[in-house]
Amino acid sequence: MRLRTLTALTGALTLSLLTGCAKGDSTGASASTVTYWLWDANQLPAYQACAKGFETENPGLKVRITQLGWSDYWTKLTAGFIAGTQPDVFTDHIQKFGQFADLKVLEPLDDLDIKESDYQPGLAANWIGQDGHRYGAPKDWDTVALFYNDKMAKSAGLTAEQLGSLSWNPEDGGTFEKAIAHLTVDRNGKRGDEPGFDKNNVKVYGLATNGGGFADGQTQWSPFTGSAGWSYTDKARWGTKYQYDSNTFQSVVNWYFGLAKKGYLAPFSDYNIQSNQANTQVAAGRAATAFDGAWMISTYDGFKGRDIKSAPTPIGPSGKRATMMNGLADSITKASRNKAGARKWVAYLASDECQRAVGAYGVVFPATPAGTEAAVAAYEKKGIDVSAFTQAVADRKDFRTFSFPITDYAADVQALMQPEMEAIYGTGKPVSSLDETNDQINLILDQ
């Protein structure tokens, strides 16, 4: 397989800009304006409220917010770094951090005096680069849990207590697989664990699909690999070796995608990143459960005619539950036209004042404990129980939390892993093929 290094990718983007789309949009930056980009439309009102508070405290400074869809956001941001149309401040993702740090397009934030103890555990530390400098101020966090159709669960004789105490193993799937099998129903009304079940004609899958999971499996297999004790790399941050060749990893992935062969997990063909993700399968009644992130809480709650509840991830062979705990951050661009104003804005975004204001909208869990408490209270007012997501933060004894892999060349790792995981899921390619892929990935990191 031909590998494209980060340098080559950047060069290709530069060429495309020079030959067709280098005009870009003006950032509108000035000494009195701070430009800020984010991708989540649901969070836009909350940050518009923060901007008003900031402007009141900083007379003469204005915040101009731009919201873009996920894909357009990263394309335009990367193009902006090259064309000079980047914002002063942007919402950063840990998967992109290594690439941006390598390109040296981020401004160090050491002078903001961000303290680890002021935020939920681990969130601040993730944004320290290999050079020891800070490049992001903690913004919010999310975990993964199991959403389920309560009516379907009751029809299957499964209680909330049972779904909240599931366990699994890669040998027989444990009580988790039994529950998913029993929630699966074929076109003739036979459940997945009943004689005569037709796995080739399923009406309702026990578990929705979110695809192959790329290199991280955030809302797919990561709760299982994590609770089996596996880690993406040899070090928690800035690892130098990936571990997709691990027997533990491959046995878990083989079991997880094997659920599709049994008819319990929706097939890969049911997944479309644009139009048919796990949440749409649950909304349509095509699946009874789905692993998904906290950013989707309001979406699942809004399904008409569906009473959707949530349960924590199942207990694994390690004796713990596990979930990825992702944390976004706000970063300042190196070429910001208003670094002084940008620093004030980022400091305000990371403050309890702004984080409580964002939490009050009940759309995300802000990074500070006070912001998180405000969010939990806001969800409670809406009648939504979010404990399946917050338990992982409150109960470190029974939960293992972990981050996206933080390494160099993350884009290349994704480019190599995506087709492999899709082939294992979709065509039954042996998981042992990941040995070669892992070798290719580690050759890139050795450069």
DSSP of 177-222: HHHHHHH-EETTS-BTTSTT--TTSEEEEEE----S-TTT-TTTTH
CATH classification at residue 425: 3.40.190.10
Handedness of CA 299, 303, 308, 314 (dihedral sign): negative
Read off the pLDDT of residues 214-236 as tens digits, 9 standing for 90 and up: 999 999 999 999 999 999 999 99
- Is 13 a domain residue? yes
Mean pLDDT, range 362-389, rounded to an integer = 97
- Is 34 a domain residue? yes
Residues 283 and 182 in one domain: yes
Residues 309 and 437 in one domain: yes
Mean pLDDT, range 385-395, rounded to an integer = 95
Higher pLDDT, 57 or 13: 57
Q: Residue 102 — very low, low, confident or very high, per pLDDT cuts 50/70/90?
A: confident
Does residue 157 come out as left (phi exceeding 0), alpha (psi in the -120 to 50 range) or beta? left
pLDDT at residue 371 tops 80: yes
- Is 386 a domain residue? no
pLDDT at residue 12 tops 70: no
Return the percentage of the chain with pLDDT > 70, whole number. 93
pLDDT at residue 262 tops 60: yes
Residues 105 and 16 in one domain: yes
pLDDT at residue 403 tops 90: yes
pLDDT of residue 10: 47
Mean pLDDT, range 384-411, rounded to an integer = 94
Residues 354 and 300 in one domain: no
Residues 306 and 429 in one domain: yes
Mean pLDDT, range 273-284, rounded to an integer = 95
pLDDT of residue 150: 98
Mean pLDDT, range 226-253, rounded to an integer = 97
Number of independent structural domains in the chain: 2
The label of the residue with tokens 């992982």 reads 392
Residues 181 and 242 in one domain: yes
pTM of the predicted structure, to 2 decimals? 0.92
Contact 144, 313 (CB under 8 A): yes
Residue 172 to residue 80: CA distance in whole angstroms: 50
Return the percentage of the chain with pLDDT > 90, whole number. 90
Residue 392 to residue 325: CA distance in whole angstroms: 8
pLDDT of residue 274: 87
Q: What are phi and psi of 265, to 5 degrees?
A: -100, 135
- Is 427 a domain residue? yes
pLDDT of residue 8: 37
- Is 74 a domain residue? yes
pLDDT of residue 11: 42
Q: Residue 122 — very low, low, confident or very high, per pLDDT cuts 50/70/90?
A: very high
pLDDT of residue 292: 98
- Is 399 a domain residue? no
Q: What are phi and psi of 193, to 5 degrees?
A: -105, 15
Residue 210 to residue 324: CA distance in whole angstroms: 15
Residues 108 and 224 in one domain: no
Mean pLDDT, range 249-270, rounded to an integer = 98
Residue 99 to residue 118: CA distance in whole angstroms: 27
Mean pLDDT of the chain: 93
pLDDT at residue 341 tops 80: yes
Residue 326 to residue 95: CA distance in whole angstroms: 10
Residues 269 and 418 in one domain: yes
pLDDT of residue 134: 97
Residues 234 and 90 in one domain: no
Residue 37 is given by DSSP the state E
Residue 307 is given by DSSP the state -
- Is 390 a domain residue? no
Residues 300-337: b if buried by 16+ CB within 10 A, e if exposed: bbebeebebbbbbbbbbbeebbbbbbbbbbbbbbbbbb
pLDDT of residue 31: 82
| Segments forming the whole domain that contains residue 63 | 6-141+330-381
pLDDT of residue 6: 39
Q: Residue 29 — very low, low, confident or very high, per pLDDT cuts 50/70/90?
A: low
Read off the pLDDT of residues 127-148 as tens digits, 9 standing for 90 and up: 999 999 999 999 999 999 999 9
Residues 271 and 305 in one domain: yes
pLDDT of residue 212: 98
pLDDT of residue 4: 35
- Is 16 a domain residue? yes
Residues 244 and 96 in one domain: no
Mean pLDDT, range 12-18, rounded to an integer = 36
Mean pLDDT, range 2-21, rounded to an integer = 36
Residues 36 and 117 in one domain: yes
Contact 24, 85 (CB under 8 A): yes
